[in-house]
Amino acid sequence: MFTPPAVGMPLFFLATPFFRPLLFASPAFRTTTTALYRSLRSFASTIRMVSHLDNVDIDPKGTFKYILIKVTDNDTKDSKFIVRGYKRCGYHADILDEVMRTEQKPGLDLEFDCVGGGRIRHEPEKQELFVYGYSQGYGQADHQRSVDIIKTKYPGYNVTFSNEGY
């Protein structure tokens, strides 16, 4: 005979192979459980979508353009800021295009809003990152915010910025 789980036991146990035959024995219980399971799975995948994005993805060395992007999940309204910068992109808009192409997944409603740009000088041998300048198309990013985000990936680096220069 089936004994109900203890109060407070997490619901993920319902999805284990052991419990599936017990749960799906009754059509009414099966419908409810299946709906609950799908809802939880959908909710979990939605939560992962914005949070799964790396805070920083920049080239390992050199001087290159970068952008600060606000990513919003239009279904949940969750959002976060991310920094992206690549030598291979000649324009700030090229970086945004690449991020949208690689990070947008089918079935998701993510919005990518470039809030500004600039340049990054990355010198790994000195463990230094310098953020400066602006984007002619998107304007100047909030370099302080960009530096704070970059420091999460490069905690041992000297990360500085200037609002001067191009």
Active site amino acids: 92
Question: Whole-angstrom Cα distance, residue 83 to residue 60?
Answer: 14
Rounded to the nearest 5 degrees, what angle is found at the Cα of 127, between the Cα atoms of 123 and 51?
95
Token pair, residue 64, equals 């290159």
Cα 101 → chain centroid: 14
65 is in an annotated binding site: yes
List binding-site positions: 65
Residues annotated in a binding site for substrate: 65
